[in-house]
Chains A and B, each alone.
Chain A
Amino acid sequence: MQTLLLAEIHARGIRAHGAETYPHECCGALLGSDDGGSREVRGLHKLVNRRADSPHNRFAVTADDVREAERAAQAAGLEVVGWYHSHPDHPALPSEFDREQAWPWYSYVIVSVINGEAQIMASWRLADDRMRFEPEKIAAAAAS
């Protein structure tokens, strides 16, 4: 199983964002590094959920938002290693819609927010055949 190193400060940031936007889904970029053997989140880039038509169960990050996140990552000497979003009143499990829309390689962190409180957080990577997500272990990293 792949591992995503995530310092508590960034885990708290994702949880806080999910609680802040509840009952709507939040979204953002995971900025960090991947040397082929180890992937670590070193920062977050909060984004606006562009699905104003259905924010309680959908999120969208436009190509311009992706470019903005990539510029922010580059400015910090990092790269975009994945994305996070919340599931209001729903488990931190990727949906079929999540799978259909996913890109390979990225880490997808999902935080479950129940009645406004962030609960379980899980990370996933799309399998190369696109047929499923594979769980990714979240391990605590030292704050950076």
Chain B
Amino acid sequence: MPINVLIPTPLRPFVGKRNSVELTAPTVGEALRTLTEQFSDLRKHLYTDDGRIRSFVNVYVNDEDIRYLEKESTPLKDGDTISIVPSIAGGR
């Protein structure tokens, strides 16, 4: 059973309007890299120019924030769900 990546609304135009993508990967980092290799227009919205996940991109594995797990090294198993959840910021 592959990994299911839930795509937030603002990123769906870049994945053919899908709300989820199935893929296979051993870790969260590999899953996101596979996702952006398959849908290259996603990359700039998920990663900074120096290759780090943008601060306003929150990634969960089965509802656990990867910041409190092993970050991008968080291992995945078949059937896991990755959720990408925005946080919003700005100001003058």
A interface majority secondary structure = mixed
Docked CA distance A55–B38 (Å): 39
Segment of A2-10, A87-95, A115-123, A136-144 engaged in the interface with chain B: A87-95
Docked CA distance A102–B87 (Å): 9
Min C-beta distance of B15 to chain A, whole Å: 12
Between A and B, how many residue pairs show CB distances below 8 Å? 81
Docked CA distance A62–B86 (Å): 8
Q: Are B91 and A63 neighbours in the complex by a CB distance under 8 Å?
A: no
| Top-8 shortest CB links A-B | A58-B91, A105-B10, A61-B88, A98-B90, A63-B58, A90-B92, A103-B10, A101-B89
Q: Are A101 and B88 neighbours in the complex by a CB distance under 8 Å?
A: yes
Which A residues are CB-close (under 8 A) to B85? 63, 66-67
Show the binding face of A for B, using Cβ within 8 Å.
25, 27, 51, 54, 57-63, 65-67, 79-80, 83, 85, 87-88, 90, 94-95, 97-98, 101-106, 108, 128-130
